[in-house]
Amino acid sequence: MKFAQVLFYVALIAISWLALSMQSDPAITTGWDKGNHLLAFFTLYLLLDFAYPFGDGAKIGLLLLYALLVECIQGLIPWRAFSLLDLVADLAGLLGYWIVRSIGRWRRLVQSKNR
């Protein structure tokens, strides 16, 4: 197993624990719940991108399914709640990584053509 794959699964477990635990004040936080979601899904996409070579659509789809699963489970847990805004923040993190990576690829392509 590649190091990037190990990091992806460690992050997935940590994020799942943070999302489902009873902690009202998590140990790891940006200080803003939606920022936590954005950062978590940006990081998951980054690690998944390095860990596995399949396409962007599949990666985004899998991570959105994971986000939906977490929200559905939270809806069943008394100390959590389902939130569409959390899903929007998760999607923003995924799109944020996709945009950053796409800009980087575009810049490398332009630079290679200018040489």
In this predicted model, what pLDDT tens digit does every residue of 46-67 receive, in sequence order? 999 999 999 999 999 999 999 9
pLDDT at 22: 86
pLDDT at 10: 98
Q: What's the structural domain count of the chain?
A: 1
Q: What is the mean pLDDT of the chain?
A: 93
Q: In terms of residue numbers, what domain contains 30?
A: 3-113
Least-confidence region, from 34-43, 48-57, 103-112: 103-112
Tokens found for residue 62:
């899998």
Q: Could you tell me which residue, 71 or 23, shows the higher pLDDT?
A: 71
In this predicted model, what pLDDT tens digit does every residue of 69-95 receive, in sequence order? 999 999 999 999 999 999 999 999 999
pLDDT at 4: 94
CA distance 115 to 112: 5
